[in-house]
Amino acid sequence: GNSVTQMEGPVTLSEEAFLTINCTYTATGYPSLFWYVQYPGEGLQLLLKATKADDKGSNKGFEATYRKETTSFHLEKGSVQVSDSAVYFCALSDKGGTASKLTFGTGTRLQVTL
């Protein structure tokens, strides 16, 4: 079956530091890949997505590139802010990404300090 593996947290960074959160996946076919963010007490918000190999998703300074050869979708940001502190989830969908079920990783907590 499908699975997603994320680096364990928590990740603690100083403001303006570079962020990488690793994500690898196992799936049949050509899944769509997503990063969701969850702030305390809230649901999940879509951060970015990529639907085919070599696509780069980007939003709010975050980027991730769909690498089929390494089955990876690592999240990066060049300069984090305190407001980026949250839990980040990597996820995949195996049917074009719209109405198919999502398979999530266990999440990576990011804490950014001044």
Residues that bind other proteins (CB under 8 A): 4, 32, 34, 36, 41-46, 49, 51, 89, 91, 96-107
Whether residue 2 contacts residue 25, with contact meaning beta carbons closer than 8 Å, is answered with yes
Min dist. Cβ of residue 49 to other proteins (A): 6
Closer Cβ to other proteins, 17 or 55, answer by number: 55
Whole-number Cα distances in Å, 62 to 3, 10, 35, 73, 99:
23, 18, 10, 12, 25
Closer Cβ to other proteins, 59 or 83, answer by number: 59
Query: Per the structure block, which two tokens stand in for 3?
Result: 């699975």
Min dist. Cβ of residue 15 to other proteins (A): 25
Min dist. Cβ of residue 86 to other proteins (A): 14
- Residues in a beta bridge with 33: 50, 92
Phi and psi at residue 58, to the nearest 5°: -150, 150
Closer Cβ to other proteins, 81 or 106, answer by number: 106
Closer Cβ to other proteins, 99 or 114, answer by number: 99
Whether residue 19 contacts residue 77, with contact meaning beta carbons closer than 8 Å, is answered with yes
